[in-house]
Amino acid sequence: MKTDDFDYELPKSFIAQAPAVPRDSCKLLVLNRDGSIEHRVFRDIIEYLNPGDLLVVNNTRVLPARLLGRKPGTGGAVETLLTDKVAGAPDTADEQTWNCLVKPGKRLKPGAHVEYRKSGSDEGPVILSAEIMSIDAASGSRAVRFTLPENIAEVEDAPATVNDAIHAVGHTPLPPYITEYHGDDELYQTVYSKREASAAAPTAGLHFTSELLDRIKAKGIGLATVDLEVGIDTFRLVSEENAEDHKMHTELYSIPEATVDAIQRTKAAGGRVIAVGTTSVRSLESAAQEGELKPCVRKATSLYIMPGYEFKVVDAMITNFHVPRSTLVMLVSAFSGREHILNAYEEAKANNYRFFSFGDAMLLL
């Protein structure tokens, strides 16, 4: 299977630079299994949901994972993006080690140090220190060890822990293709987000308002949660000529027992499990790989869903329009068919839909 099979042309003018306000006022393209298409507004999605159906959302929250710092001595600017914690490394009040994407990467080799001041300012005391520990040759990411400076006790209103310091210096990370947004960072969080754990938002859920969710629940549609910690693969495209050669980065997901019970009741009663976003899809399908769906806590998955995959849990999904040549285009193609997806994307462009994280939505039935 060639990666080029999942490519399409997208002029930059189609890339959404700001969210729809209100959230549920964005466009909704409904793609049926036979390839037929309907054009609606997102709040109309309730018309496609039946009593007894179950929505499953990823309730992870985006970390303030974008840190702006300086190299001591030279003062060179450094941008650090936290993606996920290094497994097995110390994780205490005084020390955390993260896998990170860094700029400028060529200058930040193992042993290099970075200093961070509150809110990325160039003035004031340093409240967070970092050391580059190692480099992953495949992804280019760095393992970065974060600690509090030795003189932190002398700093007025100093953070008490490394986690506090990260929140004091960090910003909500927006994808690199969003370059013009200067609005409320909370609009890059879902209204139901809970635990901070992700480097990027589960963007299909951004379209829901609290009022729309209340209407959905009042109609007799259930709501259940999973928790997938969105990591580095969100920022990587498939560069290999053959799509099968791409290596998925491991991400951690959790599925509560209440969600497993809700899915089993829904299936038994003839309802549909409707995943909100590809991260919810990966969580549910990963949990079902051993046959029986079971609850789990922070279990690792590198499940790679592409055409030919047989879905075991998900009956329908809500998603956005994805980056060309990405594993996400492959995932939705596995569900609806590659030709149907690429045709729907062309139809969306013809009708001035907005693409990617802040863009419009699709309902795949």
How much of the chain, in percent, has pLDDT values that exceed 70?
98
How do 170-171 and 196-198 pair as beta strands?
unpaired
pLDDT band at 115 (very low <50, low <70, confident <90, very high): very high
pLDDT at 234: 62
The CA–CA distances, whole Å, from 39 to 29, 81, 357 equal 5, 37, 19
Tokens of 47: 């018309």
* Cβ-based burial of 337 (10 A; exposed 0-12, middle 13-18, buried ≥19): middle
| Exposure on the CB side of residue 111, measured as CA atoms within 13 A | 0
Could you give the CA distance from residue 129 to residue 126 in angstroms, rounded to a whole number?
7
pLDDT at 121: 64
Residue type, 126: V
pLDDT at 256 over 60: yes
pLDDT at 235: 59
Q: How many residues does the chain have?
A: 365
pLDDT tens profile 154-176: 888 899 999 999 999 998 999 88
pLDDT at 119: 62
pLDDT at 25 over 70: yes
Could you give the CA distance from residue 102 to residue 148 in angstroms, rounded to a whole number?
20
Could you give the CA distance from residue 21 to residue 331 in angstroms, rounded to a whole number?
28
pLDDT at 237: 80
Neighbours of 261 (CB within 10 A): 12
What angle do helix axes 327-336 and 278-287 make, rounded to 10 degrees?
Answer: 70
pLDDT tens profile 177-210: 999 999 999 999 999 999 998 989 999 999 999 9
Cis, peptide link before residue 110, omega less than 30° from 0: no
Mean pLDDT score of the chain: 94
pLDDT at 253: 95
pLDDT tens profile 119-143: 656 778 999 999 999 998 877 889 9
Phi and psi for 216 in degrees, rounded to 5? -65, -45
Q: Which of 142, 203, 215, 146 is nearest to 175 (CA)?
A: 203
SS (H, E, C) 17-69: CCCCCCHHHCEEEEECCCCCEEEEEHHHHHHHCCCCCEEEEECCEECCCEEEE
The CA–CA distances, whole Å, from 106 to 37, 42, 101, 112, 337 equal 47, 43, 12, 11, 40
How do 222-228 and 54-58 pair as beta strands?
parallel
Q: What is the mean pLDDT of residues 303-318?
A: 97
pLDDT at 233: 65
Window from 229-238, 281-290, 334-343 with minimum mean pLDDT: 229-238
pLDDT at 362: 98
pLDDT at 27: 98
Domains and CATH numbers, the chain: 3-62+179-364 (3.40.1780.10), 66-171 (2.40.10.240)
pLDDT at 232: 63
Phi and psi for 264 in degrees, rounded to 5? -65, -40
pLDDT at 249: 81
DSSP state, 355?
A: B
101 Cβ contact partners less than 8 Å away, ≥ 6 residues apart: 80, 81, 83, 140, 141, 142, 232, 235
Could you give the CA distance from residue 337 to residue 31 in angstroms, rounded to a whole number?
11
Neighbours of 295 (CB within 10 A): 14
Window from 33-42, 135-144, 256-265 with minimum mean pLDDT: 135-144
Window from 72-76, 83-87, 144-148, 181-185 with minimum mean pLDDT: 83-87
